[in-house]
Amino acid sequence: MKSFVRIFPIATFLLLVACAATAQTAGATKIGIINSAAFAGEKTGITKFVNAAKGVDAQFTATRAQLTTWRTRQASLRKEIETQQGSPAVDPASLQRKYDEVQKLEVDIKRTAEDAQTSFEQKSRIALQPVQSAIGKALQEYVKAKGFALIFDPSRDQNGLLLVIGDQVTDITTDFIAFFNARP
């Protein structure tokens, strides 16, 4: 699920800029903040987003299990090698086979993990793009209906540049999630 959170920042930033550009200002400027990281909350997040993320995540259950099995086997072999190296009655061929297996597992783990990560990111983009697009459209609709001029997402501010201070700032996260989840 953490990978999903990494995919979202650029889309969210562009969305917020678009919302700010399309928002109508009347009288006092309404400023809102939204925590887009909350969209992925299992119980309080956006249902479609969470379900899409879970769907992608479920596709990699077998791969995660295989990697865990390999890592466990590798740790076990390393411990055996360590234990046997101190023993005078060690069969060098047996020790070498174990060492070779550890090396093979290392390569297999690395390749499988890299391939799975690449595939996970690709499938996440494919599965989440329509949901992110729908969230963007719904946020524009929400902002327009509620009369907000600006919406900031402090959860995406990696550099600490965004500082919203004042009494006139409204956190719209929970209200927007409820608004989006109520849509068909």
User: What is the domain partition of the chain in residue ranges?
Assistant: 2-181
Evaluate if residue 172 carries a pLDDT over 70.
yes
* pLDDT tens-place string over residues 2-59: 555 555 554 454 444 455 545 444 456 888 889 999 999 999 999 999 999 999 999 9
Sorted by sequence, the CB contacts under 8 Å of residue 20 that are 6+ apart come out as 149, 150, 151
Q: What are the pLDDT digits (tens) for 111-154?
A: 999 999 999 999 999 999 999 999 999 999 999 999 998 888 88
* pLDDT of 89 strictly over 90: no
The listed range with the strongest mean pLDDT (102-116, 150-164, 169-183) is: 102-116
Residue pair 15/139 in contact by the 8 Å Cβ criterion: yes
The pLDDT value given to residue 20: 53
As a whole number of angstroms, the distance between CA 39 and CA 50 comes to 8
Q: 92-146 and 61-85 helices cross at what angle (nearest 10)?
A: 150
Residue 88 has pLDDT above 60, yes or no: yes
Question: Radius of gyration (Cα) for the chain, nearest Å?
Answer: 25
- At 155 the pLDDT is 79
pTM exceeding 0.75: no
DSSP bridge pairs for 152:
33
Selected residue with higher pLDDT from 105 and 93:
105
